[in-house]
Structure 1
Amino acid sequence: MDYHSPYFFGYVIGFTHLLGMVAALHAVLTVRTAQGAIAWAMPLLFIPYLALIPYLVFGARSFNAYIKARRQANQEMHVAMANLNWRPWVEEALAARESDSYKALRAMPKLGRMPCLANNQVKLLINGRATFDAIFAAIDKARQAVLVQFFIIHDDIIGRELQQLLLRKAGEGVQIFVLYDRIGSHALPASYVKELRDGGVQVKAFATRGGWFNRFQVNFRNHRKIVVADGEVGFIGGHNVGDEYLGGNPRLSPWRDTHVQINGPAVACLQESFAEDWYWATRELSPLILQDTYPDNGVLCQLLASGPADPQETCSLFFVEAIHSAVHRVWITTPYFIPDEAVFAALRLAVMRGVDVRVLIPARPDHRVVYAASSLFAFEAVRAGVRMFRYQPGFLHQKVVLVDDEVSAIGSANLDNRSFRLNFEITLLTVDRAFADQVEAMLQEDFSHSREITAEDSRDTHRLQQLGMRIARLISPVL
């Protein structure tokens, strides 16, 4: 065959377009959302030379096959857990108290797979130093088992500090279980993991499927951040393990984030979430430890574990329900503001009801394409009456929702399609006036260091920047 013949190049071009048509049809049939299907199908049809390889790496996955495997693993895990007979005891002994604020979230009992439980003690941990000091102190006191799960673990100062603490506790006979996401922690060297294993720590990477090719799989990531010590104290929030979370990255410093410490029956739900992910990764159960007694009063809490294997879009529906329940206020902080149509419609309707709707986002980008798409959505939200703010001192990474006077939610979920449909997330919903007052004071401080986005900001944006924002929005469903 004459590879220099124009006919050969014509065959190649024709075959490439044929492959693009097949891939576009595959995207239409398999991608979970209409927006995502369009985002893939259009470039596959018109510019397959640029879109085919990204689609084969990032998009061409059998979601149905994955979801079936994940659900099967979850079912096996729950059958094994049923023999431990722990969850019925918790539900019967500590039924949630009556709460008008919780009743306003009418879908939550069915939306969340975990029970709403009273008698919890919660502590707000603002920024990295307070968070890691509390986590390390809890691990240091552990005598039975420690569960550690993060999306990102770096081999840096704070990462090695965690590593050495876990090795020391393993040497004392404490069971240590570490789960990290393979993509989120792609830079974690094998030597870091080997040292943990050699020291008696059980450590595993979360991956949707095995093999070298999976290193390029960006969908279905485990974005949860969980630490549990002895089944007594748990932690949840936005921090990963890395020096940047303590201000170590000058470009993004000071890093603004929030975590929560939990004591009480809700810690059992944190253990359940970890056990589910650990079982998927290892086909073994991590330990479940229950305390003998709990305080007679405390905060009403519900853990909301969401992910792509859910029968419904749990994370997106939570935001919709929380916004719809608001009577006079809903404040949201998120590093990535890329709402889907349902969430954006809920925000607009809340404004029309007279609700004080505020959204706080970063002034500095950590991902420029996401930042561009987020900026366009922010301008559209401002035109709809939503008050949008940009946090000025450093990068804002916290994920917080405050509704009216009692309801708050803090966890790992961002306000974007990846958290709504592609990532495993976990959020702590609290119903308590005193704790909500603390969250309000924290957010008021954040707003005081922020600049409100105005309609003039949109008009003053250069046309090339506007074009970039619109292109970024086109691919926002797959960001």
Structure 2
Amino acid sequence: MTKSIFVAYLFKGLALFLILFFIFNTYNIITNKDRLWGNSQESREYLDQLIKVSGIDLEEFEGGKKGVSKLIQKRANFYPTYGNKVTLIEEEENVFDDIFEAISNAKDSIHLEFYIIRDDRIGKRLKSLLIDKVNEGVEVRVIYDSLGSHNLKSEYKKKLKAAGVQLKAFNPPLKALLKGSLNYRNHRKLVIVDGETAFIGDANIGDEFVESLENIPFKKSLQLKIEGLAVNWMQKVFLMDWYFITGEKLDDKKYFYSGEELGEAKVQIVPSGYQRDGNIMNETYFSLINEAQERIYITTPYLILKDGIIQSLRLASLRGIEVNLIVSKNTDLFLFDWSNRSNFGPLLEAGVDIYKYENGLLHAKALVIDDSISSIGSTNFNSRSQFLDYEVNVIVFDKDLSKHIDEFLEELKEKSSKLTLEEYKSSSVLVKIKEKIGRIIIPLI
């Protein structure tokens, strides 16, 4: 057999493997989700009994707020809370400074969960800090996604474990392949300190969230610091993940906040995954958009969706709602760029304002409705994030926070170029071909 024939057969075999792998995983996603994680009933009973937090009487909400909150409550069994203090963290130099300051002040427990942890300057700073806290007698638990953090060096993990940090990987690739669950990734970003202070947003542990690197563009992030009863529900999300990875039930009251009200914000956490229908984030976004009466603001690196939300944005604009969409001019993969652009035409024709952020990769994921409801978290506006990945967002019913996020988004618009319908229609034939390809591959990414 000649070398060229061997290579041809090798590529054919690889292509067949990839096709069969995709079909196998897709089959599991559609028909066999509960089996992937063991006893569904037992899991639900434990998780639902894990925490009992006072909720808000839904009658306190007006109009669309009540409907959105009720949807989340029914679909996720996560209730709204009151008396929360919510702080927006938008400046890149503060993203990790605020988190590390909270960690350094920890007295009892530190729980971290990230899709990506890098062994870079920020990662080394985190490692040193966590080791110091363990030596002070603080419980430290860390969850990372095994595929997202595949470049994390074994030496980094060994030092953490040797010091006493409880470090666990979510869904290791080999086990995931055998279970047909490789498509399920943990994309959450959570930090919970002493059950009292929490951080949620889109930033992973990496230098690219504070500066541009040689091979990785600067990533513009948006984080929230939360204090109050809502932290209990974020803690519940972490403990859910810890239980499914380790089988260890952590239900000590010391992990939960029972203090006084610290602010005025009403907050509701929205998790996805673990026998809860995988489209809860899609439904939440869809419901928020449909409840808008005046204005919609969206920022996301990816706009890679099926027709449902795209159509709801079109209809919102056609019924007179101001719709502002800010996306990255360039994402981290050219195929994503093509898929993003494939949705621009129908939106522009309906009057949606589209802005392309040019100062790095816009990694922030935010949705603001009528200057009164805000959604921040790890969930992108793409099919994978809304139907497959394990995500967590926070919905804040607070006009002051919405105003602050609006100001942040207005600054992003100033650093972006507006795409007009005329410019879009005058695109070259090559660009239009790329759009067609991008449209075809949307269901796969």
Q: Match of 1:107, SS?
A: helix
Report the equivalent of 1:98. Answer: 60
Verify: 1:448 aligned to 2:414, yes or no: yes
Cα 1:297/1:189, change in 2 over 3 Å: closer
Distance 1:195 1:363 in 2: 39
Report the equivalent of 1:135. Answer: 99
Cα 1:442/1:421, change in 2 over 3 Å: same
Distance 1:411 1:184 in 2: 17
Distance 1:431 1:348 in 2: 24
Distance 1:251 1:382 in 2: 33
Cα 1:77/1:328, change in 2 over 3 Å: same
Cα 1:465/1:309, change in 2 over 3 Å: farther
Deviations 1:320-369 (A, max 9, x none): 10100000111100000112211111111101211001110001221110
Does the 8 A contact of 1:408 with 1:436 survive in 2? yes
How many residues align? The count is 436
Q: Which amino acid aligns with 2:352?
A: V
Report the equivalent of 1:294. Answer: 260
Does the 8 A contact of 1:252 with 1:364 survive in 2? no
1:457 Cα offset (Å) = 2.5
Does the 8 A contact of 2:143 with 2:167 survive in 1? yes
Distance 2:41 2:103 in 1: 30
Which of 328, 333, 336 aligns to 2:302? It is: 336
Cα 1:308/1:456, change in 2 over 3 Å: farther
Verify: 1:184 aligned to 2:148, yes or no: yes
Cα 1:168/1:58, change in 2 over 3 Å: farther
Please identify the structure whose Cα radius of gyration is greater: 1
Distance 1:285 1:212 in 2: 23
Which of 452, 455, 472 aligns to 2:438? It is: 472
Report the equivalent of 2:109. Answer: 145
Cα 1:321/1:232, change in 2 over 3 Å: same
Distance 1:91 1:109 in 2: 13
Report the equivalent of 1:41. Answer: none
Distance 1:155 1:216 in 2: 29
Which of 180, 186, 201 aligns to 1:237? It is: 201
Distance 1:416 1:422 in 2: 10
Distance 1:460 1:55 in 2: 37
Distance 1:74 1:291 in 2: 28
Which of 194, 212, 222 aligns to 1:258? It is: 222
1:377 Cα offset (Å) = 1.1
Which of 286, 308, 311 aligns to 1:345? It is: 311
Verify: 1:458 aligned to 2:424, yes or no: yes
Cα 1:154/1:394, change in 2 over 3 Å: same
Q: Match of 2:297, SS?
A: strand
Deviations 1:264-309 (A, max 9, x none): 1111111111111111111113455223322175100000001374
Q: Match of 1:267, SS?
A: helix
Report the equivalent of 1:314. Answer: 280
Which of 165, 174, 184 aligns to 1:220? It is: 184
Cα 1:336/1:72, change in 2 over 3 Å: same
Report the equivalent of 1:433. Answer: 399
Cα 1:68/1:364, change in 2 over 3 Å: same
Does the 8 A contact of 1:152 with 1:241 survive in 2? yes
Report the equivalent of 2:240. Answer: 276
Identity %, equivalent residues: 30
1:458 Cα offset (Å) = 2.1
Does the 8 A contact of 2:75 with 2:276 survive in 1? no
Distance 2:378 2:262 in 1: 29
Report the equivalent of 1:374. Answer: 340
Which stretches in structure 1 are left out of the alignment for 5+ residues?
17-46
Distance 2:274 2:313 in 1: 24
Deviations 1:117-139 (A, max 9, x none): 11111000114321211111111
Which of 102, 116, 129 aligns to 1:165? It is: 129
Does the 8 A contact of 1:328 with 1:404 survive in 2? yes
Does the 8 A contact of 1:120 with 1:263 survive in 2? yes
Aligned-CA RMSD value: 2.8
Report the equivalent of 1:118. Answer: 82
Which of 144, 164, 171 aligns to 1:200? It is: 164
TM normalised by structure 1 equals: 0.84
1:462 Cα offset (Å) = 2.1
